[in-house]
């Protein structure tokens, strides 16, 4: 017995924790499988949860064995990132807040601490304190790694959605032979208006369009920059031989543009998309007539 | 986060995304105070112009939004930055003058969209633009100042 204790004391607390985690990984994984973080994600099979828990325990053991319990950049945590990013990401998609996920990761610690204490039943009080402290630091680092993963996943999602918005919000619709329309929706910043201009000009060529309608019904704010973008687009379309009509100018927007002092006199405008289409059709020589003869013609 | 509820807020202006935030906050605040649609649109547009000035010419800054007490509810917006400042204010307010590549309508246009407008700027000492708008029907309370 004194021999074992002496051997134990030779190890640093970090190494001891590393050994312990590796030795007890099965029990730890079993306990973690019942923790909220794993249980709620691996709903189909408990074995999967146990397996994920085991991988995390092994990774933590490696980090501890390397003496890098405080270093979230330790190689061993790469495995944790991979394992838990899926888990944490699905928790975050399910609507968990960062605080909830943090608490769930924190809940992984007590079962391990209990096991560690049981393991060190015959060690000195000082030794127990050293080892549990090392374990606590290690689990704190784990929590940091998981939260980092969750937040970067959120950022990735935002970046991806931003790109999606650029594409999604600029469909060019062929309304009639030679007439295309772009319903603009949302904020028209420089990046988006560049996309709008490009897609519109492309479709003017493609559809041999003589009329291009820019509908701004879905643009909440028309300030001088938006107006400038609109005018540039109109001018570019005109250079390509297409007449541009800006439609969907709501009363509030019209009054604001007047106060702002922007001169849209060079731009053809209409109140609604229907008006713009009617104008374009008329210019093309098309007339809209009712298919049902009016009662007057029967008499 | 500060956008949820509440009229008072201090929003950072450091990117295009922040401009969206500023516009949304101002629109919500104005709606909350019972501003009509036209008043809302005017104020949001003025805020958009000034916030963009803060971003483009001032190199980023912040907007403070505060409710105003009075015979009718009002809103005060303060845009401040630590940028190079405005050398010639009269020139900057003139329509069509721009030091960038915009239309040059932002500052002068914003002044026409609000009831009260003041600029505090010195070269090298940053710029603070304060605007105030009261809900329609109320006389412009200039005499209070």
- Nearest chain B residue to A187 by CA: give it: B20
Q: DSSP letter string over A152-192?
A: HHHHHHHHHHHHHHHHHT---EEEETTEEEEEEES---HHH
- Say whether pTM exceeds 0.90: no
Beta strands in B18-111 (DSSP E): 61-68, 74-81
The CATH superfamily of A173-283 is STAS domain (3.30.750.24)
Q: How confident is the model at residue A251 (pLDDT cuts 50, 70, 90)?
A: very high
Give the number of A-B residue pairs with CB atoms closer than 8 Å. 68
CB contacts, 8 Å: A255 with chain B = 38, 41-42
Q: Which residues lie closer than 8 Å to A151 by C-beta, 6 or more apart? A: A98
pLDDT top residue among A151 and B113: B113
Instruction: State yes or no: pLDDT of A138 exceeds 50.
Output: yes
The edge-to-edge listing of strands for the beta sheet with B116-121 is: B9-13, B61-68, B74-81, B127-134, B116-121
Which residue blocks in chain A are alpha helix, DSSP H? 2-10, 13-23, 25-33, 36-39, 46-65, 76-93, 98-106, 109-119, 125-168, 190-206, 224-239, 251-260, 273-283, 295-298
Average pLDDT over residues B94-106: 80
pLDDT at residue B144, as a whole number: 44
- ipTM of the shown complex: 0.81
Structure token digits, residue A114: 């209990």
Average pLDDT over residues A116-120: 87
Of B16, B48, B108, the CB nearest to A223: B48
Fold assignment, A2-157: Globin-like (1.10.490)
pLDDT at residue A294, as a whole number: 65
Instruction: State yes or no: pLDDT of A122 exceeds 50.
Output: yes
β-partners of residue B79 are B63, B129
User: What integer best gives the mean pLDDT of chain B?
Assistant: 85
Instruction: State yes or no: pLDDT of B143 exceeds 70.
Output: no
Question: How many Cβ atoms are within 10 Å of A159's Cβ, its own excluded?
Answer: 10
Would an 8 Å CB–CB cutoff place A259 in contact with chain B?
yes
Structure token digits, residue A100: 């909830």
Name the minimum distance, in Å, from the CA of B125 to any CA of chain A: 26
pLDDT top residue among B101 and A256: A256
CB contacts, 8 Å: B95 with chain A = 261
Average pLDDT over residues A258-262: 88
Name the minimum distance, in Å, from the CA of B124 to any CA of chain A: 26
Q: Which residues lie closer than 8 Å to B128 by C-beta, 6 or more apart? A: B78, B79, B80, B81, B119, B120, B121
pLDDT at residue A121, as a whole number: 83
**Helices and strands, counts by H and E, chain B:** 4, 5
> Which of A159, A223, A231, A251 is most worth mutating to test chain B (most B CB atoms within 10 A of its CB)?
A223
Give the C-alpha separation, A193 to B2, whole Å.
28
Mind listing the pLDDT tens digit for each residue in A183-239? Answer: 988 877 777 788 888 889 999 999 999 999 999 998 888 988 888 889 989 999 999
Domains in chain A: boundaries: 2-157, 173-283
Fold assignment, B9-138: Heat Shock Protein 90 (3.30.565)
Mind listing the pLDDT tens digit for each residue in A9-65? Answer: 567 888 888 888 888 888 888 888 888 888 777 777 888 888 888 888 888 888 888
pLDDT at residue A167, as a whole number: 66
Instruction: State yes or no: pLDDT of A5 exceeds 70.
Output: no
CB contacts, 8 Å: B106 with chain A = 223-224
CB contacts, 8 Å: B15 with chain A = none
* Percentage of residues in chain A having pLDDT higher than 70: 93
Instruction: State yes or no: pLDDT of A117 exceeds 60.
Output: yes
Mind listing the pLDDT tens digit for each residue in B114-123? Answer: 999 999 988 8
Domains in chain B: boundaries: 9-138
Instruction: State yes or no: pLDDT of B101 exceeds 80.
Output: no
CB-CB under 8 Å, A255 with B113: no
A2-157 and A173-283 have identical folds: no
**What CA–CA distances, in Å, run from A269 to A71, A145, B65, B126?**
62, 55, 34, 39
């Amino acid at each position: 017995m004194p021999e074992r204790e002496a051997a134990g004391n030779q190890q640093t607390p970090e190494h001891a924790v590393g050994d312990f985690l590796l030795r007890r990984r099965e029990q730890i994984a079993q306990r973690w499988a019942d923790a909220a973080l794993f249980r709620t994600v691996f709903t189909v099979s408990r074995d999967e949860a146990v397996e994920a828990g085991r991988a995390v325990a092994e990774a933590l053991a490696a980090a501890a064995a390397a003496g890098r319990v405080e270093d979230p950049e330790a190689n061993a945590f790469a495995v944790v990132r991979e394992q838990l990013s899926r888990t944490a990401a699905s928790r975050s998609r399910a609507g968990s807040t960062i605080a909830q996920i943090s608490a769930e990761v924190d809940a992984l610690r007590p079962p391990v601490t209990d096991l560690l204490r049981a393991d060190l039943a015959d060690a000195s009080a000082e030794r127990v304190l050293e080892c549990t402290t090392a374990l606590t630091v290690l689990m704190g680092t784990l929590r940091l790694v998981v939260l980092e993963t969750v937040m970067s996943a959120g950022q990735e999602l935002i970046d991806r959605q931003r790109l999606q918005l650029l594409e999604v919000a600029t469909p060019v619709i062929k309304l009639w032979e030679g007439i295309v329309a772009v319903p603009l929706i949302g904020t028209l910043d420089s990046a988006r208006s560049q996309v709008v201009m490009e897609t519109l000009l492309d479709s003017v060529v493609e559809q041999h369009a003589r009329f291009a309608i820019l509908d701004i019904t879905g643009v909440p704010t028309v300030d001088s920059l938006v107006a400038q973008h609109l005018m540039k687009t109109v001018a570019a379309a005109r250079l390509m031989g297409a007449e541009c009509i800006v439609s969907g100018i709501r009363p509030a927007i019209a009054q604001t543009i007047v106060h702002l002092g922007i001169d849209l006199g060079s731009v053809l405008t209409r109140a609604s998309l229907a008006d713009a289409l009617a104008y374009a059709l008329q210019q093309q020589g098309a007339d809209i007539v009712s298919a049902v003869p009016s009662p007057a013609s029967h008499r | 986060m500060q956008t949820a509820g509440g009229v008072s807020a201090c929003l950072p202006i450091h990117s295009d995304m922040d401009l969206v935030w500023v516009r949304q906050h101002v629109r919500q605040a104005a709606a909350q105070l019972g501003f009509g649609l036209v008043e809302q649109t005017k104020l949001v547009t003025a805020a958009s112009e000034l916030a963009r000035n803060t971003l483009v010419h001032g190199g980023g800054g912040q907007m403070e939004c505060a409710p105003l007490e009075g015979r009718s509810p009002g809103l005060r917006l303060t845009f401040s930055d630590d940028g190079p400042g405005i050398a010639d204010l009269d020139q900057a307010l003139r329509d069509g003058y721009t030091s960038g590549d915009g239309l040059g309508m932002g500052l002068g246009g914003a002044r026409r969209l609000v009831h009260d407008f003041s600029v505090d700027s010195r070269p090298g000492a940053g710029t603070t633009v304060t605007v105030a708008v009261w809900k329609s029907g109320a006389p412009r309370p200039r005499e209070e100042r």
